[in-house]
Amino acid sequence: MTCEEKYLSSLQHPQVKFWVKLRKDRKERQKENKVLIVGKNLVLDLLQKFTPSALILGEEISLSDSAKGKVLYRVSEQVMKKITGLEEPDGYAAEFKIPDQNFQSTVTRLLVLDGLSDPGNLGTLIRSALALGWDAVFLLDGTVDPYNDKALRSAKGATFHLPFLSGDKKQLLEYCKEQELDILLADIEGNEPSNFIGRKRIALVLGNEARGISVEGFLNAERVSIKMRVESESLNVGVAGGILMYVLGGKVCE
């Protein structure tokens, strides 16, 4: 496919302002149903399966065979810095449509995130969920946007390959009932994860980095915990979640 090529050098150009807003503003991403992707590796990986609305390259970047953008923008170094928010961008960015959420009819492993505020942790958990064969992610209200630029970088492309649900606790409980999922809360007072091996359907709930899980509505849920040496510091949610997902098993572990 031949790209239509344009050149942008002005920081005040409306298209540049749009991309900056798309990167920074969750509401803008939701309204446009689009996301800005930054970085060579991530952009080139996504180009293998997805067609961008616009491919944005630095002046010195040569166009590869995988560049399938409907529109190609060449931009100055200052414009690339503005768009990406980076002091030393590598010359690659792209505007993609947020992928459709294609859920399987049956979900047996659901990762639930309750109020996570660190986009790096969120991205790490999304990446781990995909790698370990979990089916989907449910984002409870108050959780950081998975299309936040830092979350996207941390997820390494997994955000585009794993379906998401979002909503409040009532909607989560209804969904878990519909899918016959056992709800497990990650909690320091919980049982060892080995106690739950063999469960056919699990929704694992991970809480906010500082406050933990909001237990209202989860009073009858079981609790799971990683036992550690007493002198060790607690694991952050990204590490703990990955361990629990591995032990509790996804499709890759069967």
Q: What is the pLDDT of residues 118-176, one digit of tens each?
A: 999 999 999 999 999 999 999 999 999 999 999 999 999 999 999 999 999 999 999 99
Indicate the domain borders of the chain: 5-97, 109-248
CATH of 5-97, one of 3.30.1330.30, 3.40.50.150, 3.40.190.10, 3.30.300.30: 3.30.1330.30
* List of the chain residues with pLDDT < 50: 1, 253-254
Neighbours of 106 (CB within 10 A): 9
pLDDT at residue 190 in the model: 86
Amino acid letter, 143: T
pLDDT at residue 1 in the model: 46
- 20, 91 contact by CB (below 8 A): no
Q: How many CA atoms lie within 13 A of 62 on its CB side?
A: 2
pLDDT at residue 62 in the model: 82
pLDDT at residue 247 in the model: 94
Q: How far apart are CA 245 and CA 8, in angstroms?
A: 45
| Inter-axis angle of helices 14-24 and 77-84, nearest 10 | 30
| pTM, rounded to two decimals | 0.89
Class of domain 109-248: alpha beta
